[in-house]
Amino acid sequence: MRVAVVVACVLWAVSEADGRPACAYPPAQWCDSHHIAVACQVEQQCLGFKLKKEVDPVMISLYYESLCQACRYFLALQLFPTWLMLNDIMNVTLVPYGNALEKNESGKWVFDCQHGEQECTGNMIETCLMHTLQDADRYFPIIFCMELAADVIAAAQLCLQIYEPKVPWTNIESCITGDLGNKLMHQNAELTRALNPPHDYVPWILVNGKHTDDLENEAMNSLFNLVCKTYSGEKPQACTKADGRKSIPKCMI
């Protein structure tokens, strides 16, 4: 590593002397784009692997409902842990609505959820959390905390208080009880109805926008392996370590 830095510094000094554009980037960014690689004269060295930021993350979309057991299993024990380890190479979209139905009652959307009124509340809380907090780093741990809890709805206020920076519950509540929450849930309904093929169960998982029963089964069994396998760029260390783990011998008698 040190040798590479020294060599690169020499190359950089040479390029300055040649009157070419100077390399004004720290070494960590040299392979981030073709432009920087050229400026820093490390084009050849960067060719060995795909330029990291030019590779699209693996898109995982989850269509679910807050009280469905299989959805809770997938979200809390597959999706969230995988995202913790691989968030550099994946992008998660959550659409809580699932098998609910909606109707327009004099201009306001009224929802009928598979597991009753409580489930509609859970979907709404999670939707309002996403909208209010915006950033997955902030809302995903809270949604995970809710879905892992015995009582999804009762856990919401507690889960909101676990993570910094703390957000007052009233900020979320005003979305839930107001027109905003109603409108956001209607958007979830439309996104769910737009699925092609249409969903016939939940959790309904899309990998890079695509759903098949095989992808669904792979995701349910080991989303981590599926994301590592699907990512077309240089595999992050977490992926290669996971492969290594398989070869650890069992403890024989």
Ligand X SMILES: *[C@@H]1O[C@H](CO)[C@@H](O)[C@H](O)[C@H]1NC(C)=O
| Residue 230 sits in the site that holds ligand X (CB under 6 A) | no
Task: Identify the bridge partners of residue 92 per DSSP, sorted by sequence position.
Answer: 60
Q: Using CA atoms, how far apart are residues 104 and 53, in angstroms rounded to an integer?
A: 44
The correct pick among 44, 69, 106, 247 for binding ligand X (CB under 6 A) is 106
| Residue 236 sits in the site that holds ligand X (CB under 6 A) | no
β-pairing, 90-96 with 58-64? parallel
Closer by beta carbon to ligand X, 27 or else 233 = 233
Closer by beta carbon to ligand X, 209 or else 244 = 209
| Residue 132 sits in the site that holds ligand X (CB under 6 A) | no
Rounded least distance, CB 58 to ligand X, Å: 10
Which of 111, 58, 96 lies closest to 204 in space, CA to CA?
A: 96
Q: Coil, helix or strand for 61?
A: strand
- What part of residues 52-91 is at the interface with ligand X (CB under 6 A)? 57, 91
Q: Coil, helix or strand for 194?
A: coil
The correct pick among 19, 26, 48, 107 for binding ligand X (CB under 6 A) is 107
Rounded least distance, CB 135 to ligand X, Å: 10
Query: How many residues contact ligand X, by CB under 6 A?
Result: 5
Rounded least distance, CB 50 to ligand X, Å: 16
Closer by beta carbon to ligand X, 69 or else 104 = 104
Q: Using CA atoms, how far apart are residues 2 and 236, in angstroms rounded to an integer?
A: 22
β-pairing, 101-105 with 108-112? antiparallel
User: Applying CB under 6 A, which part among 24-32, 101-109, 154-162, 196-204 lies near ligand X?
Assistant: 101-109
User: Applying CB under 6 A, which part among 3-11, 100-108, 154-162, 228-236 lies near ligand X?
Assistant: 100-108
Rounded least distance, CB 116 to ligand X, Å: 24
Which of 46, 89, 70 lies closest to 232 in space, CA to CA?
A: 89
Other residues' Cβ atoms within 10 Å of the Cβ of residue 110: 12
The correct pick among 44, 104, 196, 247 for binding ligand X (CB under 6 A) is 104
Rounded least distance, CB 43 to ligand X, Å: 26
Angle between helices 179-193 and 169-177 in degrees, nearest 10: 70
- Cβ atoms of 189 and 58 within 8 Å: the answer is no
φ, ψ at 18 (rounded to 5°): -70, -10
- Cβ atoms of 205 and 61 within 8 Å: the answer is yes
- What part of residues 163-192 is at the interface with ligand X (CB under 6 A)? none
Closer by beta carbon to ligand X, 13 or else 110 = 110
Residues of this chain that interact with ligand X (CB under 6 A) are: 57, 91, 104, 106-107
